[in-house]
Amino acid sequence: MSSNRTPLLIALLAVVLLAVGLYLNYDSGRPRFDWSDAWSKKAYSETNTQPYGTQIFHRLLSSYFPNKKLLNLNKSITEELPLDVTGQASYVFVGEAIYMDSASTEHLLRFVEMGNTALVSSKTIPFDLMFDLYYNECPEAVWNDYGTVMFSEVNMSLREPKTNSVMFHYAHQNTPKPYNWHFIEERYFCDSLPHFPLGYLNGSFINFAKFTYGKGQFLLHTNPIVFSNYSLLQPNTRKYVEGVLSWLPEGDIYWDAMSRVPEAVARRRNRSAFSRSLEEEHPLSYVLKQPSLAWAWYLLVGLALVWLIFRAKRRQRIIPVLPKNENSSYEFISTIAHLHFREKNYQGLCIQGMKLFIHQIRERYGLVAHLAPETHQPHLDGDFMHRLAAVSEVPETAIRDIFSQYIAAVQYQPTEKMMVDLHLAMEQFWKKAK
């Protein structure tokens, strides 16, 4: 009986050995490492051990703050990023590009506004987010996304905390290759606004910057390749990365791996923020590509227009002349009273009113002033009020009275009367101003 089984066992063993040999031969033919940092499901993934994964950086964050947690967001920002922490938490995103809808954008802004920090390292940034971070623009510097410059190797340095230059490069098979490095143009930073550069690429291209928002801050880094496994395994690079991380407050860190999208998708969405193309974005793009569906749609629209024309001729009434809208003080007080009933944030309204007042002065008279981001106190040149009085033909005493009322409002807890008096003083200024 056993002698009859021997040939069968030998045949099975031969098949197994042949299968193992074929597998090893196939596996040996594949490259050991994936050297592309272009978009894939594993690009910049915290579980990816390839050169341009972020497993090492993710582990570094997990032990960066003793007794603090690194929490992975497995769902959207709105579902898992908490809003009940103030000033001791950080949101971290590293990827080719980040996608956020309007709800996620608003949620992240509220998270930072409460005093927390958001570190976003990507090759592009959502315009919907920058419309809030860069709401007050530098003169003639409308936001137009990150710029790019091609180098094989670059030196990166930090202004705060000051570090020596560290060399980074993109490599394929351990050989440096030309690469598009991203940066924030210098024209987006002016003395009148609180955001400022923190780091440079080749000494002149800004690739790391701080944008304050509310009580917190956004830290924007334009080259996520810095945080990849390959970069962190190079000599001296950890000092640079630790310098970047020194801007995070000591607290729990929330790692967002769910918002990664290809750079091309994010840039196309940014372009649609200005003008939404029918070919690219319109929900009727598929319908209009099909001839039969397109003719049906055109016929439906034509019939609707004909119906509206005949209906308008039969039922159109004389259009009454509407009175011109007036922004009177009584209407303003009524609106403010409604807002106070809900929030009673008099100091916040005074600050927003002063920001608008300073912005209008800059636009109308070219005189620059700004508010300190921490104290909200006005920073004025020595002869600012004298020059403003000269060009506006409003008495200097009235201008000083406006700023005196505002300083009192931000130094102490203002009352409703103080807020209304400040607004009325500003309104009188614009009524008298030439």
The confidence score (pLDDT) of residue 37 equals 62
Copy the structure tokens of residue 190.
């002016």
* pTM for the predicted model, two decimal places: 0.58
The CA-atom distances, in angstroms, between 101 and each of 10, 72, 113, 128, 262 are 62, 19, 18, 8, 15
Average pLDDT of each block of 10 consecutive residues along the chain (434 residues)? 65 76 56 62 85 93 92 92 89 94 93 96 94 89 92 93 89 87 95 92 95 95 94 88 94 94 87 53 63 85 86 66 65 60 74 86 86 82 83 87 87 84 88 86
Under a CB-based contact definition with an 8 Å cutoff, are residues 120 and 219 in contact?
Answer: yes
Nearest alpha-carbon partner for 222 in 242, 243, 198 = 198
CA distance 373 to 50: 42
- Cα 37 to Cα 217: distance, rounded to the nearest angstrom: 28
And the tokens for 55? 């497993």
* One-letter identity of residue 425: A
Angle between helices 346-365 and 416-432 (to 10 degrees): 10
Overall size of the chain counted in residues: 434
Ranges of beta strands (E only) in 263-399 are 370-371, 378-379
Angstrom distance (rounded) from CA 173 to CA 50 = 12
pLDDT (0 to 100) of residue 175: 85
For 215: left if phi > 0, alpha if psi spans -120 to 50, otherwise beta; the answer is alpha
**C-beta atoms surrounding 279 within 10 Å:** 8
d(CA 212, CA 118): 10
Structure tokens at 329: 């003080």
Beta-strand ranges (E) seen in 257-318 are 260-261
Q: Residue 210 has what pLDDT?
A: 96
Residues 241, 227 contacting (CB under 8 angstroms): yes
Quote the CA–CA distance of 92 and 119 in Å, as a whole number.
Answer: 5
Neighbours of 5 (CB within 10 A): 9
Residue 374: what residue type?
E
